Chain A
Amino acid sequence: MTTLEIRDLHVSVEIENGTKEILKGVNLTVKSGETHAIMGPNGSGKSTLAYSVAGHPKYTVTSGTVTLDGENVLAMTVDQRARAGLFLAMQYPVEVPGVTVSNFLRTAKTAIDGEAPKLRHWVKDVKVAMSNLRMDAEFAERNVNEGFSGGEKKRHEILQMELLHPKMAILDETDSGLDVDALRVVSEGVNRAKESTDVGVLLITHYTRILRYIKPDFVHVFVDGRVAEEGGRELADRLEEEGYDRFLKVQA
């Protein structure tokens, strides 16, 4: 049983003329096996939250805490966070020229587990995971994210989630840019990971359509750098009908 706890998190970025506060006191608790949807309009700070938990150097935590089973996540380097069990499926995965997917996956697996995976099992695991995500075998020999279509990038992110077995996964707009078929395939991958590893999921999305495939236990509405409203699945349905206008008006 793992708990990710975010308390009163304030985060700023450096801009041309000073600093800009983006997160303004975020509170959130995610436990193993739970799926939390974070929904909010563009620019509300969802990606900032994801990057801050993962430790992106661009974002400065000015106050608040993030803990994983009581351990201070904010004191860890980016790679230590990943090895502690955090995973971030990025909205914009990065190209790494000259590094093949297969080399990358093996290196990451070795780093996370602290030892190289048994080759025979590993090769099979990768093959099966790729085929489940409808990824061609030749994909493994391509360079990480180089020339990938939007859908391929997202599949590749979920492939990593399935193979690396994180305790907590933050999925940042994994649904954006996917057509219906791809959305279903990717969602199935997330659900497989949930079933097989009891991973806690923080599902960041702008739209409700992915929630038809991945059922959230909790929904948090994110507006202007903090959680504006929380509820169960029904909150998502309401957002589907009403959109975010209600929250933006309050803000204005």
Chain B
Amino acid sequence: MSLLTDKATTHTDPSSLASGAAVPDVSRGARKTSFDVADFPVPHGREEDWRFTPVDRLSGLFTDHPTDGLGTGSEAASVTVQAPDEVLVSTLAPGDAPRGTALVPADRAAVVASAQTEKALHLTIPAEAELAEPVRLTVTGHGAGRRSNGHCVIEAKHHSKAMVIVTHEGSADHTGNLEVIVGDGADLTVVTLQQWDDDANHLGQHDALVGNSATYKHIAVTLGGAIVRINSNVRYAGSGGDATLLGVYFADAGQHLEHRSFVDHNAPHCTSHVTYKGALQGQSAHTVWVGDVLIRAEAEGIETYEQNRNLVLTDGARADSVPNLEIETGEIIGAGHASSTGRFDDEQLFYLQARGIPERDARRLVVRGFFADVVSKIRVPEVVDAVMEAIEIELSQATE
């Protein structure tokens, strides 16, 4: 086995410094999950999983309330589905399998959203179907501060190949649970785009159960919203599964963008690769990345690597980056992590300007270069284009 660590961290959680990555007191695998709202009190902010999040501004998402305007035809958020003909679109009540097989709520927001969603959207990609076009879900918020609960179950049956793109826009206080079941040998990509207005709040638990020799890719692109927190989690239903979790985020003044991932290596011969990259600019722009990986005793022959890189473009922004790696077996191929938070490098700027490139263009070149490797891993042209365009817009706003 090889253990790789690479640390050039400025804002790292101090507790993670001792041995490279922190090993929490209690195993990550022991954290509570439940369908019962009573099991999760409203967080006060000192809990391990909420300690970076401005919970005081999220009270509207923690109450056990239904979606604002439910059943009136003018709900707080509307969802449109655009899917190729082969895809079955239906709904699932709580307790109707497969709802609840991949996702059990792991925090207060997820549990109330789950309890308050009577009809979860259920998308089924039939066995061996290869979708020529992506399935598109668009979640549109219809008012800042209006409460919205959502739960969506995506089931990719065995040996299917598909992509689902979920776009979030407008404004609401939205909690969206996404439950993903990737069948044996299936290949599923889920893209979640956070293109909210500035006053939207969004919490989401995205849990995937990855089948035998299945391939799962989760791509989070977070640009808009006031507070956004996406938890992308993976477990395996058999051996040989491959999971790739990617994230790109760009935080401006006042934004809190948080990404957490938990890869539970509970099966042998699986792989996981986690790469999140973010840029920050403006007063009190705040980003958080917490990457948990648990390699259980039964997870022999697995390979995992997780990394987070942050590029701080201006003073007053803060990036927290916390990798946690827990290893219960040495019989693995490799496990590593890297985390770094760096300031924009003025020497790079000088070098490019010394070749005639104006400062503004030079800055763009550096920032685009920073994102280049994670963007190249996305491999979905329309998502890549959207990301690059968004980065351009963010940068042009910065220099105006």
Q: A56: CB under 8 A from chain B?
A: yes
* B contacts, CB < 8 Å to A: 345-348, 350-359, 361-362, 365-366, 368-373
Determine the residue in chain A with the shortest Cβ distance to B351.
A94
In the docked arrangement, what's the CA distance between A98 and B309, Å? 13
Q: List B contacts of A87 (CB < 8 A).
A: 354
Q: What 9 A-B pairs come out closest when comparing CB atoms? A: A98-B369, A98-B372, A78-B353, A82-B356, A108-B355, A111-B356, A94-B351, A99-B369, A112-B356
| Known interface pairs A97-B369, A98-B370, A99-B365; A107-B357 also in contact (CB < 8 Å) | yes
Are the C-beta atoms of A78 and B354 separated by less than 8 Å? yes
In the docked arrangement, what's the CA distance between A96 and B345, Å? 9
In the docked arrangement, what's the CA distance between A107 and B350, Å? 15
Q: List B contacts of A111 (CB < 8 A).
A: 355-358, 361
Interface range on chain A (Cβ under 8 Å from partner): 20 to 34
A-B contact pairs, 10 of them (CB 8 A): A57-B346, A77-B353, A79-B357, A81-B354, A95-B348, A96-B366, A98-B369, A104-B352, A104-B365, A143-B369
Are the C-beta atoms of A79 and B353 separated by less than 8 Å? yes
Q: A83: CB under 8 A from chain B?
A: yes
Are the C-beta atoms of A79 and B371 separated by less than 8 Å? no
Which among A79, A83, A95, A107 has the highest number of chain B CB atoms within 10 Å?
Answer: A79
Determine the residue in chain B with the shortest Cβ distance to A97.
B369
| Known interface pairs A98-B371, A98-B373; A83-B366 also in contact (CB < 8 Å) | no
Q: How close is A126's CB to chain B, nearest CB, in angstroms?
A: 14
In the docked arrangement, what's the CA distance between A247 and B13, Å? 53
Quick one: which of A83, A94, A97 contacts B347, CB cutoff 8 A? A94
Q: A160: CB under 8 A from chain B?
A: yes
| Known interface pairs A57-B350, A94-B348, A98-B371; A164-B355 also in contact (CB < 8 Å) | yes
In the docked arrangement, what's the CA distance between A56 and B352, Å? 12
Q: A68: CB under 8 A from chain B?
A: no
Are the C-beta atoms of B352 and A96 separated by less than 8 Å? yes
Q: List A contacts of B352 (CB < 8 A).
A: 96, 104, 108
In the docked arrangement, what's the CA distance between A144 and B362, Å? 13
Are the C-beta atoms of A56 and B355 separated by less than 8 Å? no
Are the C-beta atoms of B355 and A112 separated by less than 8 Å? yes
Q: List A contacts of B365 (CB < 8 A).
A: 96, 99, 103-104, 107
Q: How close is B308's CB to chain A, nearest CB, in angstroms?
A: 15
